[in-house]
Amino acid sequence: MASLRDIKTRITSTQKTKQITKAMHMVSAAKLSKAEEFAKSFDPYSNKIKEVVASIAGSGQDAEHPMLQSREVKKTAYFVITSDRGLAGAFNSGVLREVYRTIQNRHKSQDEYTVIAVGRMGRDFFKKRGIPVLKEITGLSDQPNFSDIKELTAETVDLFIDGEIDELVIFYNHFVSAISQQVTSNKLLPLTDLSENTSGNSSMYEYEPNQQEILNVLLPQYAESLIFGALLDSKASEHAARMTAMKNATDNADELIGDLSLQYNRARQAAITQEITEIVSGAAALE
Amino acid sequence: MNTLTVSVVTPDGPVLEDTFEMVSCKAESGELGILPGHIPLVAPLSISSVRLKGPNPQRSAVSGGFLEVRPDKVTILAQSAELPDEIDLERARAAKERAERRLQAKQDEIDFRRAEYALKRALNRIEVVEEK
């Protein structure tokens, strides 16, 4: 049996760990509510841009734009959103496993795909496995501004327009609720499902100068807004995942401390009993 | 007097929502003035200032935006939009100088284009602040 001192040391160290995980849990909870707020303030923009794009796409005339056309896929880009730091449960590993499996299943040669990585965890994962990382961005703040990510999204969309890539698939954690996040993959480019969500009242705009010009401006912005939306979604998921992970860690620490205290008390009692026995038997020997 | 509800929205959230009598802005195809009762319209905006006229006039520096007009409502969607008091003049001036230096240096084409846009944005911001 471990000595009293050993058990005491373990209890203290577990308590210290618990303090840290508990603090991280609370920090993540605060960040989560902020991230949710942030995602909400993005909603008006994304809804509006979706509405306008859908109304143009659904206006009957065949609006032509390279971003709307499916072409033969020679090179696929995977846009993978992960976090910079770990300690968030299965947040990163879930996404990365999914991407890795998809790549293994779909592609035979490295020329057929490339990865655009957001977040240190994702970048390191792909680099370690020798998967080409075309672009990367790390060190994003917890509440990213659109301007932080604008360059990356614009460059990504340009890659498609210039024909460097023929397909863009995005992988991220979709925020379902504070306790549930879902790994989601979405085919972002070419834009194919535009006309599905056309609402009836909006297809009578005047276009200045014409539809084509507007599509040229609007579609890249629309695609960029989709990427930004996924990023905000993923940030909220990250905080939620970390919150849950830290909550579990705190609970486990509590349990461990309980077990150890029990052990400690037993050992203490055994020591006292032994001492009494010694004294009593010593006194008995004197009589 | 008829009024228009104008809202300016960016990915980082709404910037402005209020009623005005007239919207005057610069679309890619030229200056546009919108009065209440305008037919529904969509137009891309150039990097420029949007001037909102009415009892409480307002200006905003807009980049990467477009305009959606409904008879009683105007929505401006922009990648960035700032009101004059939100603009950091020092930063805009620094950005202007930086962009000018880059344009002088004449690197490859993509950098050139990016610097040009940066210069336009900076000039636009400075203009909106100094118009006061």
Report CA torsion sign: B106, B112, B118, B119: positive
pLDDT of residue B132: 59
Of A145, A147, A208, which has the smallest distance from its Cβ to B41's Cβ? A208
pLDDT of residue A245: 93
Task: Provide φ and ψ at A168, rounded to 5°.
Answer: -130, 120
**Could you tell me if B34 and B80 lie in one domain?**
yes
d(CA B118, CA A136): 22
For residue A247, what are the CA distances in angstroms to A88, A173, A178?
A: 11, 19, 12
**Could you tell me if B43 and B61 lie in one domain?**
yes
User: Reduced to 3 states, what is the DSSP secondary structure of residue B123?
Assistant: helix
- When the pLDDT of each residue in chain B is averaged and rounded to a whole number, the result is 84
Task: Provide φ and ψ at A186, rounded to 5°.
Answer: -135, 135
**Could you tell me if B25 and B78 lie in one domain?**
yes
State mean pLDDT over A113-130: 91
Give the pLDDT band (50/70/90) at residue A208.
confident
In the Cβ-directed half-sphere of B2, how many Cα atoms lie within 13 Å? 11
More confident residue, B97 or B110: B97
pLDDT of residue A62: 59
**Could you tell me if B40 and B105 lie in one domain?**
no
Q: Which chain B residues are Cβ-neighbours of A145 within 8 angstroms?
A: 12
Give the pLDDT band (50/70/90) at residue A16.
very high
| Dihedral over alpha carbons A115, A118, A119, A122 (to 10 degrees) | -20
What kind of architecture, by CATH, is found in domain A34-242? Answer: 3-Layer(aba) Sandwich (3.40)
Give the pLDDT band (50/70/90) at residue A23.
very high
**Could you tell me if B49 and B79 lie in one domain?**
yes
**Could you tell me if B48 and B95 lie in one domain?**
no
Tokens of A207: 């276009």
pLDDT of residue B107: 65
Give the pLDDT band (50/70/90) at residue A238.
very high
Task: Provide φ and ψ at B32, rounded to 5°.
Answer: -130, 135
Give the pLDDT band (50/70/90) at residue A63.
low
Number of domains in chain B: 2
Q: Which chain B residues are Cβ-neighbours of A221 within 8 angstroms?
A: 64, 66, 77, 79
Domain of residue B49, CATH code: 2.60.15.10
pLDDT of residue A210: 78
Percent of the residues in chain A that have a pLDDT greater than 90, as a whole number: 43
Task: Provide φ and ψ at A49, rounded to 5°.
Answer: -65, -35
Residue A57 pLDDT > 80, yes or no?
Answer: no
Is the Cβ of B87 closer than 8 Å to some Cβ of chain A?
no
Sequence ranges of chain A with CATH classification 3.40.1380.10: 34-242
State mean pLDDT over A4-21: 94
Which range, of A107-111, A211-215, B9-13, averages the lowest pLDDT? A211-215
pLDDT of residue A284: 92
Residue of A nearest to B70 (CA): A205
- When the pLDDT of each residue in chain A is averaged and rounded to a whole number, the result is 86
pLDDT of residue A38: 86
State mean pLDDT over A92-99: 92
For residue B53, what are the CA distances in angstroms to A256, B20, B25, B121?
A: 67, 6, 11, 22
* Cβ within 8 Å of residue B125, ≥6 positions away: B61, B82, B87, B89, B92
Residue A60 pLDDT > 70, yes or no?
Answer: no
**Could you tell me if B73 and B92 lie in one domain?**
no
Percent of the residues in chain A that have a pLDDT greater than 70, as a whole number: 93
More confident residue, A208 or A281: A281
d(CA B126, CA B88): 9
Of A44, A217, A218, which has the smallest distance from its Cβ to B14's Cβ? A44
Which helix (H) or strand (E) segment holds residue A171: the answer is strand A167-177
Per-residue exposure over B33-59, b if at least 16 CB sit within 10 Å of its own CB, e if not: ebebebebbbbbbbbbbbbbbbeeebb
Which helix (H) or strand (E) segment holds residue B97: the answer is helix B89-105
Residue B113 pLDDT > 80, yes or no?
Answer: no
d(CA A230, CA A224): 10
State mean pLDDT over A271-285: 94
Sequence ranges of chain A with CATH classification 1.10.287.80: 4-25+245-280
Which helix (H) or strand (E) segment holds residue A110: the answer is none
Instruction: Give the range with max mean pLDDT: A5-9, A52-56, B47-51.
Output: A5-9
In the Cβ-directed half-sphere of A184, how many Cα atoms lie within 13 Å? 17
Domain of residue B123, CATH code: 1.20.5.440
What is the homologous superfamily of the domain A4-25+245-280 according to CATH?
ATP synthase, gamma subunit, helix hairpin domain (1.10.287.80)
Of A48, A213, A214, which has the smallest distance from its Cβ to B9's Cβ? A48
State mean pLDDT over A64-74: 80
Give the pLDDT band (50/70/90) at residue A59.
low
**Could you tell me if B60 and B75 lie in one domain?**
yes
State mean pLDDT over A229-237: 91
Judged by CB atoms closer than 8 Å, whether chains meet at B80 and A213 is answered as: no
Beta carbon pairs, A and B, within 8 Å: 75
Residue A177 pLDDT > 80, yes or no?
Answer: yes
Structure-token match 């734009």, residue found: A65
Residue A55 pLDDT > 80, yes or no?
Answer: no
More confident residue, A257 or A163: A257
Judged by CB atoms closer than 8 Å, whether chains meet at A205 and B13 is answered as: no
Asked whether the ipTM of the predicted complex exceeds the cut of 0.90, the reply is no
Count of CB atoms situated within 10 Å of the CB of A63: 19
**How many angstroms from the chain centroid is the CA of residue A210?**
39
Residue A8 pLDDT > 80, yes or no?
Answer: yes
Judged by CB atoms closer than 8 Å, whether chains meet at B43 and A214 is answered as: yes
Query: Regarding beta strands B48-53 and B22-27, do their DSSP bridges make them parallel or antiparallel, or are they unpaired?
Result: antiparallel
More confident residue, A66 or A74: A74
Of B9, B39, B42, which has the smallest distance from its Cβ to A45's Cβ? B9
**Could you tell me if B77 and B94 lie in one domain?**
no
For residue B103, what are the CA distances in angstroms to A154, A255, B98, B117, B126?
A: 21, 64, 9, 11, 19
β-partners of residue B23 are: B34, B52
CB B75 within 8 A of CB B68: yes
Which residue segment(s) compose the domain that B26 sits in? 4-84
Percent of the residues in chain B that have a pLDDT greater than 70, as a whole number: 94
Residue A201 pLDDT > 60, yes or no?
Answer: no
Instruction: Give the range with max mean pLDDT: A134-148, A189-203, A248-262.
Output: A248-262
